[in-house]
Amino acid sequence: VRPNIMQITLFTQFAALVLASSVLPGCSKKEAAPAPPSVSTATSKNNRLKFKGGERLVADLATGLSLEPSELCKELGLYDCKTAANISLGGVEPYLQTIYTPVGERTASTANAAERIALSACHLRMERDFAPAAEAALFAELAAPAPDLAKALAVSKRLYQKLLNRDASPEEVSHLTAFWKELSAEKEPAKAFATYACFAVATTEEALFF
Amino acid sequence: MKKFTKVLMAITVIASPAFAKPPGQKTFCDEYPLAPTCKSGQTVCATCHTSPPALNLFGTQVSQKLAPGGARPLTDEAYASALPEALRAVDSLDADGDGISNGDEIRAGSDPANAQSKPSDAPCTASPGAAWNLCGYDAAYTYRKVLLDFCGRSANYEERQAFAKSNAPKELIHETLEACLKSEFWQGRNGAVWNLASPKIRPIQSIKAGQDAGPVPLADYYRDYALFVYATTGDRDARDLLRAQYSIVASKTVPTTYSKLGLSFEQDLQENDNAAELAQPERRAGMISSSWFRVINTMFTAVPRTTAAQAYRAYLGLDIALLQGLQPGASAEPIDYDNKGVRASGCISCHQTLDPLSYPFSRYEGIDQDEKSFQTAETFGSYRKDRMARFVVSDGPNIVNVPEEGVLFGKPVKNLVEWAAVASDTDEFAQKTVLDFWHLLFGVDPKPSETEQFTKLWKRFRNENGYQIEKMLSDLVDTEAYGAP
């Protein structure tokens, strides 16, 4: 059953925390995972969502992260990830493989391919913003000395504006700031937060479907 | 019997017990005349089938009540006679188990075979805090979709803020659409419209000629793609897909531009060899007479049934292999000029339509088997009045009697140019052309509840919109089907 649009919008309110926590190496396991918030859903009239596909996904990530589409993600450091995962990402290859139309519903590897590109792009943005003397495009507050909760809050709000093109709700911001607190024991919490908060927002269903 | 005929026969024989018989779609609508799915007088295959011949839940129930105990396969007459009673027998049943009877679902426009599809006549309740109006068309949602569908990107933060403050949101949506329709994402090489042509063109790089040629270059398909984009963008008449007697070339630079070839027929042959369009201009019929279309479909055959079937499928939406668009012609057809056994009982019902549909294609060369003419660019793939004569050895002496005249939708046509002119003026062409773009934007067929919107779209495309795709798309983004979340 495909999720409807409102489910997706509301899902994003806790997806960031869950996703980020699951991928972050070295996250604390001592505290019990917070109970998922209750999700109220509204029924979509058409209930007809489409996966953005590789081209739109890369275009949006590149714009949101101020990167060139060609540099977002390279397999083995050489090959464009979107091209390598073209069919998984809903593309076609009519000339050599006679795949004239997208394969339909998402494939088993679609999520892997989308997350691969998003994680690589977020990591690249973080590296550039944290480089010495860099003019940070997204994570300026965190790259500055003494990052704190207020700075994480500012970055959280900007992530929603850049990647989902809207303001974050108070609940969404609170989830990301809770994530910041959870990272306090990390060696480089600011870098970890920048990468994985970006990844979490960039892989919400709202960011991947329309 | 030749392999091709055997395959067709096998398909027909295997499928016949369960297939949607020709009268079924109309008989259904005689029983449910006010159902939304019957706006055009015939329901869609999906009413009873998943992928024909497989039946969906509703079709299975109907099948169980259809002349129970009677001999199978049913004749068309027996089927048409038994179907109303079978439909009445399952009217009060609930095939998909969603608590609403089949009849109530059909009359309300929801799908009786899908538990997720229910009548939507219950008043929609607004959802507090929802990002969009979930009860109907939402301009902000539509604006976001237009940018993604036609420009290939999301509206950025500033654009969404500006849209929210706009006093004329619909105008802004249409301005955005107009700009996006010119984008490289939409109409560029390998863009959205270009890719829409692939199932019609069916390219194979290994035999491509011209730019990006393969190892065995037989014909070029980039011109086919270019014509497709050209005819379906700007203020052009999409009927040129079947009527164009000119060649279109795409620029090799970005942004892609499309222009008419500035060479005469002779110059084109001389300069571009077998990447040229080899049929004489006055013999051309757009996409279905192109060198590539003939090479890939006609190949070495005398009677180009595959070519005609692909034209029928790709541009009129009728797949003979699925028993669609069968139009019994003259009682003498099929004549079986090429000794393929097409009058066998399992074959004749399709070939009555397919063979006379194919004759107008028969004078256009596919891949020439004659070594001498193969070496001559002027005869390779071109129109030849006497083409059938060289198939006597392989297909028998009667092959020379294959007429160039054919039959399309019961109308005699003198040649392929007339075939294309008749085809491009039909409802089927308008429906298929609009449906292709519907699929591109929605990914699925119109729902039963959207039949009225879809019908209005293709009828306006034919009439008020002068077969211009961009005007049709302007209508489409205003529909509730597109603009309701």
B318 in Cβ contact with B312 (< 8 Å): yes
Q: What average pLDDT does this structure show over B38-52? A: 78
Q: H or E stretch including B259?
A: strand B258-260
Record the tokens describing residue B355, joined without a space: 């063979």
Predicted pLDDT at B327 = 81
Record the tokens describing residue B120, joined without a space: 């939507």
Residue A200, pLDDT > 80, answer yes
Closest to A105 measured CA to CA, from B115, B440, B46, B443: B443
B95 in Cβ contact with B57 (< 8 Å): yes
How confident is residue B345, by pLDDT bands cut at 50, 70 and 90? confident
A165: nearest CB among B154, B204, B442: B154
**A165–B130 CB contact, under 8 Å:** no
B432 in Cβ contact with B316 (< 8 Å): yes
Residue B15, pLDDT > 70, answer no
B127: nearest CB among A6, A162, A210: A6
Task: Please state the pTM of the whole predicted model.
Answer: 0.80
pLDDT in tens, B297-340: 999 999 999 999 999 999 999 999 988 898 876 678 999 999 99
Q: How far is B205 from chain A (nearest CA, A)?
A: 5
**A9–B131 CB contact, under 8 Å:** yes
Q: How far is B124 from chain A (nearest CA, A)?
A: 9
Distance CA B361, CA B141 (A): 47
Predicted pLDDT at B369 = 55
Distance CA B303, CA A197 (A): 63
**A59–B153 CB contact, under 8 Å:** yes
A49 in Cβ contact with A2 (< 8 Å): yes
Closest to B287 measured CA to CA, from B260, B311, B258, B257: B311
A112 CB-near residues (< 8 Å, 6+ apart): A88
Predicted pLDDT at A134 = 76
Q: How far is B234 from chain A (nearest CA, A)?
A: 23
Q: How far is B198 from chain A (nearest CA, A)?
A: 5
pLDDT in tens, B98-114: 989 999 889 888 899 99
Amino acid at B230: Y
Who has greater pLDDT, B35 or B198?
B198
A169 in Cβ contact with A13 (< 8 Å): yes
- Over the range B331-360, which residues count as b (16 or more CB within 10 Å of their CB) and which as e? eebbbbbbebbbebebbbbbbbbbbbbbbb
**B485–A60 CB contact, under 8 Å:** no
Q: How far is B435 from chain A (nearest CA, A)?
A: 15
Strands (E) in chain A, as ranges, are 74-75, 79-80
* Most A CBs within 10 Å, among B114, B153, B184, B186, to test the A interface: B153
**A6–B148 CB contact, under 8 Å:** no
Residues of B in contact with A89 (CB under 8 A): none
Gap between the terminal Cα atoms of chain A = 16
A161: phi then psi, degrees, rounded to nearest 5 = -70, -35
CA atoms within 13 A on the CB side of B32: 29
How confident is residue A137, by pLDDT bands cut at 50, 70 and 90? very high
Predicted pLDDT at A40 = 58
Q: What average pLDDT does this structure show over B393-400? A: 95
Q: Other CB atoms closer than 10 Å to residue A145's CB: what's the count? A: 5
Going from the C-alpha of A103 to that of each of A56, B281, B441, the distances in angstroms are 17, 37, 15
pLDDT in tens, B103-155: 988 988 889 999 988 876 556 666 767 778 878 899 999 999 999 999 999 99
**A96–B208 CB contact, under 8 Å:** no
Q: What average pLDDT does this structure show over B376-394? A: 78
Q: What is the ipTM of this complex?
A: 0.82
Placement of tokens 């839940």 in the chain: B57
A94: nearest CB among B127, B198, B212: B198
* Most B CBs within 10 Å, among A12, A40, A41, A45, to test the B interface: A45
Predicted pLDDT at B298 = 95
Distance CA B111, CA B124 (A): 19
How confident is residue A39, by pLDDT bands cut at 50, 70 and 90? low
Predicted pLDDT at A37 = 55
Q: How far is B349 from chain A (nearest CA, A)?
A: 30
A165: nearest CB among B156, B203, B442: B156
B247 in Cβ contact with B277 (< 8 Å): yes
Q: Output the CA torsion B13→B17→B20→B24 (10° steps).
A: 130
Q: What average pLDDT does this structure show over A110-125? A: 97
Distance CA B25, CA B35 (A): 12
Q: What average pLDDT does this structure show over B209-226? A: 95
DSSP-derived letter for residue B147 is I
A46: nearest CB among B185, B205, B484: B484
